[in-house]
Amino acid sequence: MNCIFCNNENEATSVEHIIPESFGNKKYLMTRSSVCDSCNAKFSKFERKALSNSVFVFERARLGIKSKKGKNVKGKVEDLEVEGNKEFKKQLITVKGLDSKSVENYDKENGTLQMIVSSFDKSEEAGAKLILKMGIEALYTSDFNLYNNLDINEARDYLLAKNTKDWPVIISDYEPSKFKSIPKMGVKYELGIKQIKLEYLQLNENVLLIRFTFGGVTMMVNILNRDTNWITEFKTNDSLTQIYPKHYRDKI
């Protein structure tokens, strides 16, 4: 079989999880050899970074997810060290490295405080790559007709580091029209229990959005190209929309 990313014929020995196992996905997998061992190994590098050095680590810790090795979640975002509970209790996160810059409005009476956490720690690229990879694999597996009609060579080249220019990724709650789940029925249900959604929305022939939701975090990319025109509508309708990497903000 040929690898859907590098097109090399191969007999892979590794299992490719469409959504990383470290999000709690055990069942949504690629068919054997549709992703070769070499691409799989390349992908695990950015997966690890996105899982442990971005806002996802807080969600993984908060939801009491087990790591691949069955341990509690650990990671680092900027100067904050994040750790999930050792007995996988939900809603219990240990954060080390908090200082007056990262904590605001401590309210003694209510016992609340606000913690300022950036969404990424130099891991925007890893985040964009992870969502592109999941989108391509999920469409291939669950919606082959749509997959077959898409030109995703730009994204493929980016994942294989044939071109390295940043890919824009946004965090936004705005929904121009209804996103559709890529996983179908049973798989969709299983992932839903783990608070995972992987969806798409085609806006026009240049823009097909892939949206990934994990717990309270929602990120999206345009799987077809690096065009940023579509982002304006999101920014207009949700003032809290965040655009990464930062240099794209000036152009939108």
Residues at the site binding Zn ion, with contacts judged by CB under 5 A: 3, 5-6, 36, 39
Cβ distance to Zn ion smaller for residue 31 or 229 = 31
Q: Cβ of residue 164: shortest distance to Zn ion, in angstroms?
A: 18
Q: Cβ of residue 5: shortest distance to Zn ion, in angstroms?
A: 5
* Pure H helices in 63-196: 124-142, 144-148, 153-159, 185-193
- How much is the CA Rg of the chain, to the nearest whole Å? 18
Q: What is d(CA 210, CA 183) in angstroms, rounded to the nearest whole number?
A: 12
Q: Cβ of residue 238: shortest distance to Zn ion, in angstroms?
A: 37
Q: Cβ of residue 140: shortest distance to Zn ion, in angstroms?
A: 13
Cβ distance to Zn ion smaller for residue 11 or 205 = 11
Q: Cβ of residue 168: shortest distance to Zn ion, in angstroms?
A: 25
Cβ distance to Zn ion smaller for residue 36 or 63 = 36
Cβ distance to Zn ion smaller for residue 98 or 160 = 160
Q: How many CB atoms lie within 10 A of CB 131?
A: 23
Q: What is d(CA 76, CA 78) in angstroms, rounded to the nearest whole number?
A: 6
What's the token pair of residue 237?
């309708």
Strands (E) located in 64-206: 74-77, 80-84, 93-96, 103-107, 112-115, 169-171, 180-181, 196-204
Cβ distance to Zn ion smaller for residue 30 or 63 = 30
